[in-house]
Amino acid sequence: MRVFAAFVVSLIILASTGTARADPEGQVTWAEHTSLVPAWLDPGEALNLTGSLYALHDAMMKPMPGAAMAPSLAESWSISSDGLVYDFILRKGTKFHDGEPVTAEDVKYSFERYRATYANTLKEKVAAVEVLDPGRIRFRLKEPWPDFMVFYGTLTTRAGWIVPKKYIEKVGEDGFKKAPIGAGPYRFVAFTPGVELVLEAFEGYWHKTPSVKRLVFRVIPDPATRLAALKRGEADIAYNIPGELADDLLRTPGLTLKPTFPTVHWVYFADQWDPTSPWHDRRVRLAASYAIDREAMNQAITSGLSRIRWSMVKSTIDFYWQPPEHGYDPSRARQLLIEAGYPNGFDAGELFCDLQAAPNAEAVANYLKAVGIRTKLRPLERAAFFGAHAQKKLKNLIYAWMVDFGNAATRLEAVVISGGIWAYGGYPDLDALFQKQAAELDRTKREAILHELQQLVSERVIVAPIWEIAFTSGVGPRVEEPGLGLIPNWAFSGPYEDVKLKAK
């Protein structure tokens, strides 16, 4: 068996385990930019990631500072030489918030219970999950799959985030959502859906005792109100402070602006597989891309901090391919529309977006209108947006994004491969290339296939990439360490045991 737990990372993690710490003190309050719903506190269901995931729960492995896949509840893992068997050894002494130990039965239960993004992919690939003893578990694959650990050990899915079997069987699914128990650094205290979540330090956490006693996540949808709460000291960290508000924040003594770069945003042409739709014509999709002034959007919405990108794959993840770029060219956009048979433009229906992305999507809609592509903005509350998107209920145009963990293959599978959770159609040759790379164990050959696939995605304009967005958060004067940017590609604070208040 080949041991895959990084030795150096294990030393870093273990060095901090059990470190003597003062008792947790004080409270940190976050002004949340989006609503909190019960399903998002459950790793088995959440379609979208929220900051509270890292507070309430823990995983077998997870992204941590300095490591994309750090040993957590699993202290090590190994892979058989034929790539079919993965064995995990659980860390001794880990426990849930009710004091029950974390066991291999909980790991098996969590995997089998998982029903969110890529659940079908995982279960189609895994032949069996075997509990060897309370501290060891084995996954048997049906065939070698080079991305198993990408799906299981990063935030590509939450299948490796462990929930307590005994507790859920006792209180039921609804009871768990009302009062979730996890194995993370903070335990549940109270939750008013859409309003506020309150957590308290769990001093039995294996990694280290948190510094802050209480965490409060308060939903404040309006960005100006979030900034006002930060200025008044009602919030210590405020997520998603855009544009002129970010400039105001920078001018305010005692406040700091902290950008993170969690994801790429793009416009998705949901109707491109419909031969009767204007979006079926590549020239129309390309015209839409030329019509968008990304640099102007960047300056107006994210204070110039975002990174303009021409791929839906984040530049920092594995197997990324750099596509050719093109500038803002409305004249070229109009010419392409004329060539496609729309000299007067056309009515493009609705442009759907998450409510918090409405300013970005509105800018896109205005640029499209300027060249004759007339669309109506349709913002939805986040849970409704992601639910409808996953169920393929949205039409016309979608201002879309997803969190960037995993690699280029996981991103492509979700968005451009037939059957992907966010894919409204597919192309047979792209599907064939994807299947070919999924079975390729030679890294160099696999990379070449994935580069070819990304090139075809770019040439066909399946999406119009916008930017690697700067997610700009404000930090108040009481906070020494907000945890923003510590975990690669993570928008929110984390790990929460590292969040600190300044000494009084």
Write down the H helix ranges in 325-427.
Answer: 330-339, 358-370, 382-390, 408-415
Give per-residue pLDDT as tens, 256-303.
999 999 889 999 999 999 999 999 999 999 999 999 999 999 999 998
CATH of domain 2-7+21-217+472-501: 3.40.190.10
Asked whether the beta carbons of 212 and 25 are under 8 A apart, the reply is yes
**pLDDT at position 197, please?**
95
The mean pLDDT value for 158-166 works out to 96
d(CA 158, CA 147): 15
State yes or no: pLDDT of 404 exceeds 70.
no
**pLDDT at position 38, please?**
82
Residues of the chain with pLDDT > 90, as a percent, come to 79
State yes or no: pLDDT of 15 exceeds 60.
no
Comparing 316 with 87, the larger pLDDT belongs to 87
**pLDDT at position 36, please?**
84
**pLDDT at position 53, please?**
84
**pLDDT at position 28, please?**
98
Region of poorest pLDDT, from 78-82, 297-301, 399-403:
399-403
Cβ-Cβ contacts under 8 Å for 331 (sequence gap 6 or more) = none
d(CA 155, CA 139): 19
The mean pLDDT value for 102-110 works out to 98
Cβ-Cβ contacts under 8 Å for 456 (sequence gap 6 or more) = 427, 429, 430, 433
**pLDDT at position 49, please?**
60
pLDDT band at residue 12 using 50, 70 and 90 as cut-offs? very low
Domains in the chain: boundaries? 2-7+21-217+472-501, 264-468
Retrieve residue 368's tokens.
Answer: 């499209």
pLDDT band at residue 356 using 50, 70 and 90 as cut-offs? confident
Region of poorest pLDDT, from 5-9, 208-212, 221-225:
5-9
Write down the H helix ranges in 69-203.
Answer: 104-113, 119-125, 148-153, 165-178
**pLDDT at position 16, please?**
44
**pLDDT at position 39, please?**
79
State yes or no: pLDDT of 22 exceeds 80.
no
Asked whether the beta carbons of 110 and 44 are under 8 A apart, the reply is yes
Angle at 399 between CA 295 and CA 293, to 5 degrees: 20
Asked whether the beta carbons of 165 and 157 are under 8 A apart, the reply is no
Handedness of CA 223, 225, 229, 231 (dihedral sign): positive
Q: Longest C-alpha distance within the chain, in Å? A: 71
Give per-residue pLDDT as tens, 443-472.
999 999 999 999 999 999 999 999 999 999
Look at the domain 264-468 and name its fold: Dipeptide-binding Protein; domain 3 (3.10.105)
Q: Which residues pair with 190 in a beta bridge?
A: 198
Q: Which position has the token pair 């047979």?
A: 428
Q: Is the peptide bond before 324 cis (omega within 30 degrees of 0)?
A: no
**pLDDT at position 214, please?**
98
pLDDT band at residue 35 using 50, 70 and 90 as cut-offs? confident
Give per-residue pLDDT as tens, 167-187.
999 999 999 999 999 999 999
Comparing 362 with 405, the larger pLDDT belongs to 362
